[in-house]
Every structure is written in structure tokens, then in C-alpha cells.
């Protein structure tokens, strides 16, 4: 079979997912193609042969007529569902949700903007095993066929790599400089930790092209107010293939990945860190609850509770026995439950079910 995956922009978790599942679907003879409506920094991670970046109706119509896709998967952009049907595409379309911000943002978008197009123009809905997404979809689309299974990661290549120990303890943070990723709480926690452990650096992996100017000003202002300029290192658009090196460096430094998100549809950065034996401290942002179990594969703190975050962070840094145990358990859990083969089987079964039911 041949599948087209569509998304707004090659960036973030969805761009990561697309590359991971391309590998997975090759295992069951499914050919993947990708359409991004707008250019983005993540395009450098992708193979160009099966990727088109355009929002032009004529080019999109030519693509689907030429390639004759068996199924099209549209991620997030419900307006594209109608456009594809207007191009006379008659095969199944699956609407995919990987995260639409906070619960209120997702609920508002799905009910007020997307509901009509989803009900009228797609044949099924796909989303990860995330509680808030499951609840929203069952509530808003009770009569629409739905599929829910975990995303995947290539644990053979995305794995721990031994490095020389860094001179400082590194706290890692991955995300966009936006409210939902909660960068302010990250800076606040780091400032508090530095008052007790001066030998700390914060490495922030961001996509600056997606940062709104007003948010950038707020971020730079807060860095100055907290006097963190010398302690924060910004990595803008780090190549995804290099991230296992960074996660491993963070782990070997005695540090950890900090995730401060308000809500995650999945939480790829946390999964990637676990796969590289990098300890994690995260909010209970829903998506990550599929693979982070407190004091087993990682650690949680209550969002907004900086004292608790600092306490858990210090245990991650100083309790070497717990740290080692959690790192091993985390990597093993990811390898067992989020591997390419499982994803491929779930996806193939979904396609067969959707095609058969038409």
C-alpha cells in the first residue's frame, strides 16, 4: 500500500513521528509519502525524494492524482480534509491528532472549527493512547470510527552513546518557546537549583523560527532578570540525528531532561531521552504517562510546584542507585512497548480495517 501523510510544517514531534513511522511501515511493505503545507526547519532531517512542501491546490491535486495513494492521513488540519475531497480523492482519509495544545485549546478547535469537516470528509480518526485525546474524541465524535495506539521510535539507532563526562551537570529542555511548553517554569526551576548546586548548565533545544516575537522578548527579558545568561545554552534546530548524542551527554554529566509542559499529546522528547538512558523529570502532562512511571522509569513533579521539582531533581542528581535503575528500566520499557514492529502492525491492521469497511 501507499500512504500520504499531511501536516502543516516539518517541525516538532509530528515531523519526528513521520520519519520514525516511515521506517516502521517499510517493515510491512507500506510506502510512505509526506506533504507539508509550509516550509520548516525540520525539512533538513527528511529525505527529499518522498516529501513535497506546498500549499498550492494544483500541486497537491497533481500529487494525489499521480501517486494514487491508497490512504491519506491528515494530521490536525481539518480544512485539508475538504480540500482533498474537492480534488475528487475518493479513497479513505484518516484524520490524525497528535496534540492540539492544552485541553481547552484542543476542545475549542475540534468543536468550533474542525467538527464539521471531520464528520463529513474523513473515514476514521487516529490518535495516541492519551487520556485527554481519548476523552475528547469519544465525546465529540461518538459515531466516527476511531483507532488509538502508541507512536514509535527506532531504538536501534536512537540509543545511548558513551561520551566523556561534561565538566558541568546538564539539565536538558526540548520545546518551542511558547506558553504550553512552560519555558518560564523551566527557568525558575533552574534558578532555584543553581542556588544549591552552582555547577549546573541548562541546555535548551528549540526551534526559533516558530517563536513569536512577543514571546521571544519575554524569554530574553526573563533570562536577564534571573541572571541566567551565562548558564543557559540555546541549541536552535539541532539536527535530529544528533539528539542521541545530546541526551547521552546529559545522562553522563549527571543531569537529566526536564519537561515542564502543561499538556502533551505524546511527548516525543521525553520518550527519546528514555531511549538514550537519560533520566527524566516531567510534569504529568498526559501523553508522557504512557511511558513515565514515578521512581520506576522517571520522575514526576506537580506543575507549578517548584519546591517539589527541585526536591525531585536533587534526588535524580545525587541518588546514583535510583538514577541507574530508572535509566535502565526506562530504556527497556521504550524498547518493549514503542518499537517499530509493533507500530507497523497496528497501522497495517488499521488500514486493512478502514479499507474493508468501505
Q: What's residue 44's pLDDT?
A: 77
For the domain made up of 2-152+339-357, give the CATH fold.
Rossmann fold (3.40.50)
**Quick check: do 2-152+339-357 and 169-337 share a fold?**
yes
Q: Any idea what DSSP says for residue 135?
A: H
Residues 6+ apart with CB under 8 A from 330: 274, 275, 277, 279, 280, 291, 292, 297, 298
CA distances from 228 to 15, 165, 306 (A): 31, 23, 17
Among the residues of the chain, which ranges form H helices?
A: 12-26, 57-67, 78-86, 103-108, 115-121, 131-140, 183-196, 213-225, 243-252, 268-275, 306-318, 320-337, 340-357
For the chain, list residues with pLDDT below 70: 46-48, 358
pLDDT of amino acid 358: 61
- The CATH code belonging to domain 169-337 is 3.40.50.2000
CA 218 to each of CA 187, 301, 340: distance values in angstroms, whole numbers, following the listed order: 12, 25, 40
Angle ∠(163,166,171) on CA atoms, nearest 5: 105
DSSP labels for 65-129?
HHH--SEEEEES-HHHHHHHHHTT--S-EEEE-S--SSHHHHHHIIIIIIHHHHHHH-SEEEE-S
List, in order, residues 6 or more apart from 66 with CB less than 8 Å away: none
Residue 93 backbone dihedrals phi, psi, to 5 degrees:
-120, 130
Q: Domain ranges for the chain, please list them.
A: 2-152+339-357, 169-337
For 110-136, the pLDDT digits (tens) are 999 999 999 999 999 999 998 889 999
CA dihedral (235, 280, 223, 45) in degrees, to 10, reads 20
Chain centre distance of CA 186 = 18
- For residue 6, give the H/E element and its range: strand 2-7
Q: What is the pLDDT of residue 47?
A: 65
Per-residue confidence (pLDDT) for residue 243, from 0 to 100: 96
* Predicted pLDDT at 48: 67
Residue 66 β-bridge partners: none
What's the pLDDT at 265?
Answer: 87
Alpha carbons within 13 angstroms on the beta-carbon side of residue 195 total 10
133: left (phi over 0), alpha (psi -120 to 50) or beta: alpha
Specify whether the CB–CB gap between 7 and 14 falls below 8 A: yes
Amino acid at each position: 500500500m501507499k500512504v500520504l501523510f499531511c501536516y502543516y510544517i516539518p517541525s516538532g514531534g509530528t515531523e519526528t513521528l513521520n520519519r520514525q513511522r516511515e521506517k516502521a511501515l517499510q517493515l510491512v511493505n507500506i510506502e510512505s509519502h509526506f506533504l507539508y503545507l509550509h516550509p520548516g526547519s525540520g525539512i533538513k532531517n527528511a529525505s527529499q525524494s518522498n516529501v513535497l512542501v506546498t500549499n498550492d491546490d494544483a500541486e497537491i491535486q497533481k500529487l494525489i492524482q499521480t501517486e494514487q495513494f491508497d490512504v491519506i492521513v491528515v494530521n490536525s488540519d481539518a480544512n485539508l480534509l475538504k480540500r482533498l475531497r474537492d480534488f475528487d480523492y475518493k479513497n479513505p482519509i484518516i484524520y490524525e491528532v497528535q496534540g492540539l495544545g492544552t485541553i481547552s485549546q484542543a476542545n475549542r478547535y475540534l468543536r468550533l472549527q474542525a467538527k464539521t469537516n471531520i464528520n463529513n470528509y474523513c473515514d476514521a480518526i487516529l490518535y495516541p493512547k492519551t487520556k485527554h485525546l481519548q476523552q475528547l474524541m469519544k465525546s465529540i465524535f461518538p459515531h466516527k470510527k476511531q483507532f488509538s495506539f502508541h507512536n514509535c521510535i527506532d531504538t536501534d539507532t536512537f540509543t545511548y552513546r558513551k561520551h566523556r563526562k561534561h565538566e558541568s551537570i546538564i539539565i536538558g529542555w526540548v520545546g518551542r518557546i511558547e506558553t504550553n511548553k512552560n519555558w518560564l517554569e523551566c527557568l525558575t526551576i533552574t534558578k532555584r537549583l543553581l542556588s544549591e548546586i552552582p555547577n549546573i548548565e541548562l541546555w535548551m533545544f528549540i526551534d526559533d523560527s516558530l517563536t513569536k516575537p512577543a514571546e521571544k522578548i519575554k524569554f530574553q527579558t526573563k533570562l536577564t532578570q534571573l541572571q541566567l545568561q551565562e548558564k543557559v545554552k540555546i541549541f536552535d534546530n539541532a539536527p535530529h540525528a544528533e539528539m542521541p548524542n545530546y541526551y547521552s551527554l546529559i545522562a553522563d554529566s549527571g543531569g537529566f531532561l526536564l519537561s515542564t509542559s502543561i499538556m502533551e499529546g505524546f511527548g516525543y522528547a521525553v520518550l527519546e531521552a528514555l531511549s538514550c538512558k537519560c533520566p527524566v523529570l516531567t510534569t504529568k502532562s498526559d501523553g508522557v504517562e504512557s511511558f513515565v512511571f514515578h521512581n520506576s522509569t522517571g520522575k514526576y513533579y506537580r506543575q507549578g510546584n517548584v519546591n517539589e521539582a527541585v526536591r525531585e531533581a536533587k534526588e535524580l542528581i545525587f541518588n546514583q542507585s535510583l538514577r541507574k535503575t530508572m535509566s535502565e528500566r526506562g530504556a527497556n520499557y521504550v524498547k518493549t512497548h514503542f518499537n517499530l514492529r509493533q507500530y507497523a502492525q497496528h497501522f497495517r491492521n488499521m488500514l486493512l480495517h478502514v479499507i474493508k469497511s468501505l
